[in-house]
């Protein structure tokens, strides 16, 4: 089968298309014939060595959507021919940039017929991240105010929809080109992140009870400034960056800061299953900004960090 691998860490040029043996599923694992593969910034962090890869050569990628074509011993609930999607790979095991992908069943869920493979691959990692941030850690409640930084990003555009579905009043930041789309998917107010009076504009929209921060090293002081009393602030993003919690406003407001990683989710399958129902109902729908053939994975990884777009990039084997 064909797979994208890197034999050493480095820039996008270290990604190469290799012919490799088709892997066999072990106990509690399924093999997925990949139809779509999500591209995430975290994929590049492993490739550069910023996050140490599990082994070399390594197949990158966390997300996949496709059809089960083999099951290992002890597998229940999945059979050959099932439409599925998965996330959490490419961290402590080989990833998803391949024609066949091995995944433990705890990281896999059924993909409804109403949802395309590209949408499943686009949703997986960012959907679980947004769910863990807003539902699990922040315990977002109906009628609360929620600020989502970078609403046009992969996590951001799903988080806006998820918060709106929970009944929150959503404020988000984004470039002006994306404002109308973000309003259409549930944001009550969309603010240009470059405006000089951004803090005043956020407060005018209602001090947020929950903040999802995707650029913690820049915005934690801002978050503390605009947050409501006893707000919950959840930070995600590159763990190599440093974030400083400002003690004055944070202590005065009894703010709670939470740093998280999607890879620490207790029950990924359960979260994916709930997200699948939301996708099937049209309540939370990921945006597929662009697709690439598998052989152009290096270009996709460059674009995911350097290009401006709303939603997600997807590989199609």
Beta-carbon-side half-sphere exposure of residue 70 (alpha carbons within 13 Å)? 13
CA atoms of 113 and 97, how far apart (whole Å): 23
pLDDT for the residue numbered 239 = 59
The pLDDT profile of the chain, 317 residues, written as one tens digit per residue, is: 999 999 999 999 999 999 999 999 999 999 999 999 999 999 999 999 999 999 999 999 999 999 999 999 999 999 999 999 999 999 999 999 999 999 999 999 999 999 999 999 999 999 999 999 999 999 999 999 999 999 999 999 999 999 999 999 999 999 999 999 999 999 999 999 999 999 999 999 999 999 999 877 678 889 999 999 999 999 997 655 666 766 666 667 999 999 999 999 999 999 999 999 999 999 999 999 999 999 999 999 999 999 999 999 999 99
Torsion of Cα atoms, 291 then 297 then 302 then 307, to 10°: 0
CA atoms of 113 and 177, how far apart (whole Å): 32
Cβ-Cβ contacts under 8 Å for 197 (sequence gap 6 or more): none
Q: Which helix (H) or strand (E) holds 92?
A: none
Q: Which two tokens stand for residue 53?
A: 């890869």
DSSP 186: T
CA atoms of 72 and 294, how far apart (whole Å): 26
Phi, psi of 136 (to 5 degrees): -80, -55
- Rounded to a whole number of angstroms, the CA Rg of the chain reads 19
CA atoms of 62 and 111, how far apart (whole Å): 16
Q: Which two tokens stand for residue 238?
A: 């590159």
Phi, psi of 203 (to 5 degrees): -65, -35
| Cross-strand partners of 103 | 30
Which of 182, 147, 141 shows the shortest CA–CA distance to 161? 182
pLDDT for the residue numbered 237 = 72
pLDDT for the residue numbered 125 = 98
- What are the structural domains of the chain? 2-111+287-316 (3.90.180.10), 126-262 (3.40.50.720)
């Amino acid at each position: 089968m064909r797979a994208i691998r890197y034999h050493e860490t480095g820039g996008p040029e270290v990604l190469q298309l290799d012919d490799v043996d088709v892997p066999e599923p072990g106990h509690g694992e399924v093999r997925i014939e990949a139809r779509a593969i999500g591209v995430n910034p975290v994929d590049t962090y492993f490739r550069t060595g910023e996050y140490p890869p599990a082994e070399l050569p390594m197949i990158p990628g966390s997300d996949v959507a496709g059809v089960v074509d083999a099951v290992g011993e002890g597998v229940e609930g999945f059979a050959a021919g099932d439409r599925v999607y998965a996330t959490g790979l490419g961290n402590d095991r080989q990833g998803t940039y391949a024609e066949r992908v091995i995944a433990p069943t705890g990281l896999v869920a059924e993909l409804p017929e109403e949802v395309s493979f590209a949408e499943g691959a686009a949703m997986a990692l960012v959907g679980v991240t947004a769910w863990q941030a807003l539902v699990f850690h922040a315990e977002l409640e109906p009628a609360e105010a929620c600020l989502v930084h970078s609403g046009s990003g992969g996590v951001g555009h799903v988080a806006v929809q998820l918060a709106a579905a929970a009944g929150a009043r959503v404020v988000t930041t984004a470039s002006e080109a994306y404002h109308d789309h973000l309003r259409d998917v549930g944001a009550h107010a969309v603010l240009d992140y470059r405006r000089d009076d951004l803090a005043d504009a956020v407060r005018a929209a209602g001090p947020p009870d929950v903040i999802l921060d995707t650029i913690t090293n820049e915005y934690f002081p801002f978050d503390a400034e605009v947050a409501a009393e006893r707000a919950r602030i959840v930070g995600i993003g590159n763990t190599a960056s440093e974030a400083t919690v400002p003690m004055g406003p944070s202590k005065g407001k009894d703010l709670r800061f939470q740093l998280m990683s999607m890879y620490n989710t207790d029950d990924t399958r359960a979260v994916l299953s709930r997200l699948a129902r939301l996708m099937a109902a049209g309540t939370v729908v990921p945006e597929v900004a662009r697709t690439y053939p598998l052989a152009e994975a290096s270009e996709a990884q460059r674009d995911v960090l350097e290009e401006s777009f709303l939603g997600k990039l997807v590989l199609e084997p």
